[in-house]
Structure 1
């Protein structure tokens, strides 16, 4: 039976790596063949085909529920109900709308909307809204967050921006109750009220970017996001309460204590999950807790691995798209490591020793998963969790839940919440010190062979002491910190035009040097430099920048620069508007006319001295490798282009970064004739409000003719300067959830 369940899980997990989905008829045929194979000796193959077929059909249903292409960027009036807890950040209200209907079109079942400067919304309300709808689309960069996969895993069929709206019905039911309770928690005088709301209701909107950064650096994000740990804690407290009453003689003898303990623990965990919104991670945790309690009651003789395997199968059967989320892998990976660590031990450990052993197992065992998922690695996580896990589990969560239950009692609930918030504040201060002492780092992406070495090394170190060659595991982990850097040939340059939306960030690497031209934008607390550019640089094994060249000081080009400067060694910063940049960058003026050579690749700079605005002041870079040339032009307009023509220099180039994202005020016909590029690169946001690139500009490039590469359509673009080859977009790496 275990083999059959394992085969079923394997079939369900194959979905994660599929480049494209098979037709629905083929998936159904495979599942049918699997059913026919169950009575035979080939039943494992049958289970595999059933899992694979069901996963593909379920994923296709989610894809079919996406917004129709003809409705992309159209504004429609629609009606629907707000679900979950809306969040407000930087004046933007973000929420989800379920069951949206429109007289003019059929809409997806679930929408994710943003209302800039919108009114306060409550979960459960019904609204009539004018929404500019968009098909799911995200930035595609090396090892960055895959927004499209996340949307599909949530079964969100469209995003959109609200233009106006009218409330049709007030909130009622469970959604209204949760929203009212959130307001009570946030309005309380307790310190860290936003974090308490995250622990009680799963609402993380009260946590600031600085809070998330501290949690990420210390590997303690799981403590403030309701997960299996919190649900299991509530179940464990209720189970322990019954056991304590039994030992003290306070439990009725007529009631068998074990089934009652398991039942009360499950009811408590389920109630907590419902209060937290019963999102996918919470549902996953409730399934696991239910199976563990059932195993404890009736099936302990079957071993500890069976409930984990059954829970994995049930979670994937209910929602096959769970495997697209990093949390799924980390949750089951952590539970599996705990079973491996404690399942076969001889003798009893003290609780402190057991906690330390658990943190040791998490630190080592999750390394391969973190590397595969492109997530930060925190060296301080074992120490931080050794302190934070018992503090949150024994002190903060019980006080937070008790205070919430006692809120109807005037003064009492607020007092208990104040104690919980104070305990949480002390923890955050300690975690901030640990994060400043030993922050997390983003390792470089490893080749498969190196990753397998790390995997084997982690498993070897988790084996019991005394196992021969166990110490060899430390040497197998070395690729994490000293992975061999790939070297470019002399005289060639690798160019990455990163997908940063309506902005610009271009990485140029030679054999021994790296240059970043612009750094993307920053919008409030959302920093493209921190969220996209820096992780991409680390994934591409860039460990330092010899030069950070910021064309000018506009936000879409320089907003992410401080995060880059803080997160990575930068030898020098130059800009066309050095005086307008933050002082921390210590930027120097663009040395127009400067020439230099790195590893056989030539670089030269130009800036219009008579520039009258920021765009015209852009620092322009020419790169030449083995006779192949590339212009990076920032946001220069047609006047600056004429000034560059007037210098009399040879402007011919093979590649041109389209000036000002394809604005109508740039890419003049005279300039294009002088450059005569065979290919052009456009960096822009897909749904930008400027209409970039302008149709007349696109027509000029088509008339050259020049092939156009567009980050909005193709993701991050990569080319090898000096080989006279073609550029390649990361969207060419097929994933079934990515729109072509």
Structure 2
């Protein structure tokens, strides 16, 4: 039976690796084949097929509830009910609307909305809203978080921006939101948001600085409800009943063991309900239930049975859970502990168990964090030795008890004040540690090196004395010392990153790296920090030889300060150095300046007669093995005419579309003179500027120029000097990704 359950889990997990969902006919054939195989010894294959079919059907239901393409960018009046906990940040509230309906139009049943400068929105309310609908797409960059997959896992069929609206009905059955508002209103010594995260799983109250500290110290799992918190509460309830029974304080007419198991499971479910039943909580509740059932019936199931049953239960209830990084981390952490402690012949002392568990989890989860493109905390094992008992034993009990006793004057608030003070002390210590040694963003490694590292981690988790165990260290260290991906001499690897309505292009030669523009930064977000800097680190870039900022507009220079602080930068050049932060010490763009790196030639151009910021853009030509790329920033048609009288007015194989493809640029004379075979357009999906303009798109298509649009294709990679077509990330098929509407050349 265990083999069948394992096969079922593998079938359910296969979904995440599918480039496309099978057609209905194939799914029916797999069901019939599975039913035929069930009575025989091949039943594991039958379970595998049934799991795969159920996962595909569930995924297709979610895909069918996505926004229709013809509604993308349109404004509609919709009605619906606010669900979950709305997230507030300066100037904007984000929330989810369920049971959405619109007149004469079919819209997805669940939408994620953003209302800028809007009123307060509470969970459980019904609203009528005018919204601009968008397809559920996100930025798509190498080795980065896949927002589109996350939206599908949440079964969100569209995102939207609210233009206007009015409340139809006040909140009903919104007790979680009411609890959150009470928590945020108490005096918790400035840590009200952290308490809401700990008690309710609502992380919206944590600042970006708090998140960074938690990430750097490997303690995110402590502030966002995890299975550990649920298990701790269940264990405390069980021990309380057992203690009362031991000292004769439990009613003798009631058998203490069934009550202890039942109350412990009820406490776990209650906490899970309070937390919104995310994947770690679901897994914990299933495993706790199985352990308590074993305890009640005095049957030894073994450690792997509850884990396997929990895995199948979570996936059967929600097959799309496998699209979330938290799912893999949650089950992998428990699997590491079971594997580590399950094969021991003798027990460790309690302090050995506690200290070794932290280091072994760190070793086991290292490859998992790397493949999920998450940072690895180097201080996590040491920090968690103290942080876990601090949260579990000192902070969590008064936080939960204080929340429960909030109706009692002074008592609940006093307990929450105490919990907040303890949290503040912990954050102070964590901030000090994070400042000394932040998390390590490991460069991407080849798949073969990652597989060897996984095998090395497994060897290190084995007991001492196992043959070949010492070989685990050099195998695991391949994560650190794997041979880097080297750009050939005389070639340049160019990445146009997907940064929405902005621009960021990474150019790497064999031994040098240049960054042309830094991505946008405004309205409380900084894509230089969120996208560009992590991408540079994943590429293995340890310093920038040159950060070239075309001009000072926020969509091109907004991320400059974050990148300057996150990586050593040897030189900064800009068309508008005087308008950049003084700390960058930017030099002016000198027209005609040339240099060569590793056989690749670079040439600058700047219009001295520019009258506005866009015209001041510093233009860069890159030539590798006779193949040219021209990066133009935001120059307009007037600057283009002047550039055509410069030495850069030669045939260019590739062109970065001036000003994101606006109507005021990409003039026909300019495009004809350069005669590019392909154009790179960096812009935001559904942007309010209308970029690229339809006339510009038509012009490029009429002249036979292939269009590579970041909003349609995600990040684009070009190996300059090889005369090959670029690689668009969205062309790497995944069943949850919408195909690009304009396909690149094969």
TM norm structure 2: 0.97
CA distance in 2, matches of 1:640, 1:307: 68
Runs of 4+ with deviation above 4 angstroms: none
Residue 302 of structure 1 aligns to a residue in which SS?
Answer: coil
Deviations 1:455-489 (A, max 9, x none): 11111111112323322221112222222122222
> Residue 178 of structure 1 corresponds to which residue in structure 2?
176
Q: Which residue of 2 aligns with 1:39?
A: 39
* Whole-Å separation in 1 of the counterparts to 2:291 and 2:515: 51
**Structure-2 separation of matches of 1:453 and 1:485:** 16
CA distance in 2: counterparts of 1:273 and 1:181, whole angstroms: 15
Distance of aligned partners of 1:648 and 1:59 in 2 relative to their CA distance in 1, 3 Å threshold: closer
Helix, strand or coil at the partner of 2:644: helix
Task: Report deviation, 1:416.
Answer: 0.8
Aligned pair 1:133/2:136, yes or no? no
CA separation of 1:300 and 1:215: change in aligned 2, threshold 3 A: farther
Which secondary structure state, in structure 2, belongs to the residue aligned with residue 128 of structure 1? strand
Report SS of the residue matched to 1:366: helix
Report the Cα offset of residue 134 of structure 1.
Answer: 1.2
1:404 is matched with which residue? 403
Asked whether the 8 Å contact 2:279–2:327 carries over to 1, the reply is no
Q: 240-249 or 730-739, which moves further after superposition?
A: 240-249
Q: CA deviation at 1:663?
A: 1.0
1:468-507 paired onto structure 2 within 5 Å: 468-507=467-506
- After the TM superposition, which of the residue ranges 474-483 and 109-118 deviates more from structure 2? 474-483
Q: Which structure 2 residue ranges, 5 or more long, are not aligned?
A: 740-746
Q: How does 1:205-284 map to 2 (within 5 A)?
A: 205-284=204-283
Measure the CA separation in 1 of the matches of 2:274 and 2:497.
41
Residue 656 of structure 1 and its aligned partner are, at CA, apart by: 0.7
- The match for 1:3 is 3
**Unpaired runs of at least 5, structure 1:** none
Change (3 A) 1:479 1:525: farther
- Provide the C-alpha distance between the structure 1 equivalents of 2:523 and 2:92, rounded to a whole number of angstroms: 10
Contact map agreement 2:343 2:463 (CA 8 A) in 1: no
Q: Deviations over 1:388-437 (max 9, x none)?
A: 10000001111101111111111111111110000000000000011111
Q: Measure, in 2, the Cα distance between the counterparts of 1:311 and 1:533.
A: 38
* Structure 2 match to 1:78: 78
> Which residue of 2 is the match for residue 296 of structure 1?
295
Q: Report matched runs for 1:297-696 at 5 Å.
A: 297-298=296-297, 300-647=299-646, 649-696=648-695
**Aligned pairs for 1:46-85 within 5 A:** 46-85=46-85
CA contact under 8 A between 1:31 and 1:51: conserved in structure 2?
Answer: no
Of 691-700 and 619-628, the range deviating more from structure 2: 691-700
Deviation at 1:350, TM superposition (A): 4.1
CA distance in 2, matches of 1:281, 1:91: 32
State the Cα distance separating 1:347 from its structure 2 match: 4.2
Distance (whole Å) between structure 1 residues aligned to residue 155 and residue 23 of structure 2: 20
* Aligned twin of 2:21: 21
Q: 1:404 to 1:576 in 2, by over 3 A?
A: same
Q: Give 1:280 shift.
A: 4.2
Cα deviations by residue, 1:536-586 (Å, 9 ceiling, x for unpaired): 222223232211111111111111122222222222211111222223323
Task: Confirm or deny: 8 A CA contact 1:548 1:573 kept in the other structure.
Answer: yes
Matches within 5 A, 1:678-717: 678-717=677-716
Higher mean displacement: 455-464 or 282-291: 282-291
Shift of residue 218 of structure 1?
A: 0.6
Contact 1:269 1:286 in 2 (8 A): yes
Distance 1:458 1:439 in 2: 23
Deviation at 1:253, TM superposition (A): 3.6
Q: Give SS of 1:684's match.
A: coil
Instruction: Say if 1:32 and 1:50, in contact at 8 Å, map to a contact too.
Output: no
CA separation in 1, counterparts of 2:604 and 2:509?
17
Residues 347/649 of structure 1: CA separation in 2 closer, same or farther (3 Å cut): closer
Cross-structure match for 2:188? 190
After TM superposition, give the deviation of residue 281 of structure 1 in Å.
4.0
Counterparts of 1:415 and 1:622 in 2: how far apart (Å)?
A: 65
Inter-partner Cα distance in structure 1 for 2:663 and 2:16: 42
- State the number of aligned residues: 738
